[in-house]
Amino acid sequence: MGLDEQPQMSDLRATGRIAPVRRSGRVRKSRSLRPLDVQIYQASEALTEPLIYLMVLFGPWAFGTTQPWSIWGMTIAGYLLGGMLVVKLAIRSLKGYRPPRWDGEWGEEGEGIGHPKSEIRNPKEVRRQESQVRKPRSEVRGRRLLTASRLTAILGWLTVAILGYCLISALNARATYMPRALRFVYYDRYIRWLPHSFDSSRTWFAFWSYLGLAFSFWAVRDWLLGKSAIEERAEVQVKGRSSETQAEFVPARMRRLFWLLAINGGLLGLEGIIQRIEGSGKLLFLVRPYIHKTADTQFGPYAYYANASQYFNLLWPVCLGFWWVLHQSHGFKRNGHHVLLVCSAIMAACPIISTSRGGALISVGMLALAAPFLLVTQYFSAAHRRQDRSTRTITLGVLALFFAGALVLGFSLGWKALKPRMATIHEGHQRREAMYDTFRPMAADYPVFGTGPGTWLNVSQLYRTSLAAEWPAQLHNDWLETRITFGWVGSALIALAFTTVVLRWVARGGIQCGGRFVLLMWLALSGCLLHARFDFPFQMHSIVFLFLVLCATLFNLSRRPSVH
């Protein structure tokens, strides 16, 4: 570095933008940070945001992302996100660049760069200050076990393990299906005690798709933790507020993302309702699919109405929680956030209008759980006690209007067609269970490693009782299909990864958030998992992407500290 650049680097170091890198209690100097590095980092951040927005919009509108061209489009976009994420991580770790972030990489408990704890302190001074605050041993032990950095490391290694599991299964293939010859070509040289696939081509496709989804998850998670200059300056003011007000603060990037999700979901629901009323049987009034050619079996851009209901049920509780957070902060001083409530009501009604039996039951069930939860907790919140009586009454009225409006809209437009289907729900359940019984021997034959990720379509034909028996493209039970294709080992890795995401909220650091918003996010994810027991939401790329975006958001949130 030249002498003329020294003042500039000093300024960066003084503002906390560059600092020695600390690893395992030791301090080592980072390599020289150049202005070009900062520009590259900022360019990567700037390009990441519109690409995420494009994927959010493209996923459902590209006919649910069910065709290879749309799946590869989302996958390539995920690779681009991953490439920019690698660049940002390299600049932060190798060059010591410390941009303002909500996770407080340089802090000990999630503070921003400007916080005093972000500076290196004498270890003796740290121990002396910590000894002044006596905490229960159980609380200290719990925080040591569930720290943000430890959970992040665990989830990172689980991500590598899942991708490695798919890669080994593809490389160590037992067979490959030849669709033109309608037969399997078997390989003798494979390692039996390693994961292996019975259809290498499908497993390779699954691996490349999962790789793009993994990049997308970590890129969204990292981007959401970035802090703007305005937020960095306002951090002092936020820290001075009460814990309840601080919990309702929504960072700018998360706010923009959820506004996009809500408005896009509302428009998607309106298009689906109009398309159902019009009755042409063409997806987005453009394309007639090869299957489900009638309007009553479609909804919006989805050729299968149940998949549309799964997308909406995954999204509307989160948008409702987002409205709640903004309303607790703004009240009725600003009315723009009430658009979120309208979009959420439209999306909550769509599963009923779609005539999906499972979608309607889960949507009504989540409405039944969310209504008393929000209405009751409103009375016990500190924000409720600070509000005047008229504001409290209007808030409760608006919530009641939302729940009533969603049910009235859904049943007025969908009950006529849904009622006869609900009358046959028992027969439909018996037919599904009979299909599950037909293919459960697959899980019994390959319990450890399964048949290989993505191999269900071609391998399942070997277990049909006759040539005339049903050969479904999906099992309509993602829990069982995952156990068949991934085995117990792969399924356990996926379950551990999801559990790690859920546990993140109890750890300190990150973006502090109120419990009601997080519980509504859990409700949405739980509804999708319940859908997966009787259908195939996780075989739809657009639904999986939305699920991972919500998980990435959830993995950044932490509970607000207790007030003593």
3-state secondary structure of 513: strand
Give, as one character, the DSSP assignment of residue 564.
Answer: -
- Among 8-22, 52-66, 277-291, 360-374, the range scoring the smallest mean pLDDT is 8-22
DSSP-assigned letters across all residues of 411-464: HHHHHHHHHHHHHTHHHHHHHHHHHHHHHHHHHHHSTTT-S-TT-HHHHGGGG-
Given a cut of 80, is residue 111 above it in pLDDT?
Answer: no
Given a cut of 70, is residue 112 above it in pLDDT?
Answer: no
Bigger pLDDT: 562 vs 71: 71
φ and ψ at residue 513, rounded to 5 degrees? -145, 150
DSSP-assigned letters across all residues of 13-75: HHTTSB--EEETTEEEPPPPPPHHHHHHHHHHHHHHHHHHHHHHHHHHHTTTT-SHHHHHHHH
| Predicted TM-score (pTM) of this structure | 0.88
For residue range 160-218, what is the model confidence (pLDDT) as tens digits?
A: 999 999 999 999 999 999 998 889 999 988 999 999 999 999 999 999 999 999 999 99
The label of the residue with tokens 């941009």 reads 99
**Residue 118 — pLDDT band, cuts 50, 70, 90?**
very low
Q: Are strands 557-559 and 511-513 parallel, antiparallel or unpaired?
A: parallel
Give, as one character, the DSSP assignment of residue 197.
Answer: -
Per-residue pLDDT, averaged over 358-383, amounts to 85
39 residue type, one letter:
Q
Q: Which of 36, 233, 249, 146 is nearest to 505 (CA)?
A: 146
- Among 75-89, 378-392, 475-489, the range scoring the smallest mean pLDDT is 378-392
Bigger pLDDT: 242 vs 67: 67
Given a cut of 80, is residue 246 above it in pLDDT?
Answer: no
For residue range 491-501, what is the model confidence (pLDDT) as tens digits?
A: 999 999 999 99
For residue range 256-299, what is the model confidence (pLDDT) as tens digits?
A: 999 999 999 999 999 999 999 999 899 999 999 888 889 999 99
> At what angle are helices 200-224 and 68-94 packed, to 10 degrees?
50
The rounded mean pLDDT for the chain is 85
Here the tokens at position 99 are 């941009």
Bigger pLDDT: 2 vs 424: 424
Q: Which of the given ranges, 92-106, 171-185, 225-239, has the highest pLDDT on average?
A: 171-185
Bigger pLDDT: 15 vs 76: 76
The label of the residue with tokens 């649910």 reads 64
Helix (H) or strand (E) holding 184: strand 183-186
- Among 283-297, 402-416, 472-486, the range scoring the smallest mean pLDDT is 283-297
Q: Which of the given ranges, 25-29, 355-359, 468-472, has the highest pLDDT on average?
A: 355-359
Q: What is the pLDDT of residue 346?
A: 97
Dist. CA 417–CA 352, nearest whole Å: 10
Per-residue pLDDT, averaged over 30-44, amounts to 88
Per-residue pLDDT, averaged over 314-322, amounts to 96
170 contacts: CB under 8 Å, gap ≥ 6: 197, 200, 203, 204, 207, 452
DSSP-assigned letters across all residues of 91-150: HHHHS-B---BTT-TTSSSS--TTSGGGS---HHHHHHHHHHS---HHHHHHHHHS-HHH
Per-residue pLDDT, averaged over 457-471, amounts to 86
Q: Are strands 183-186 and 175-178 parallel, antiparallel or unpaired?
A: antiparallel
For residue range 411-456, what is the model confidence (pLDDT) as tens digits?
A: 999 999 999 999 999 999 999 999 999 999 999 999 999 999 999 9
From the CB of residue 431, how many other CB atoms can be counted at a distance below 10 Å?
13
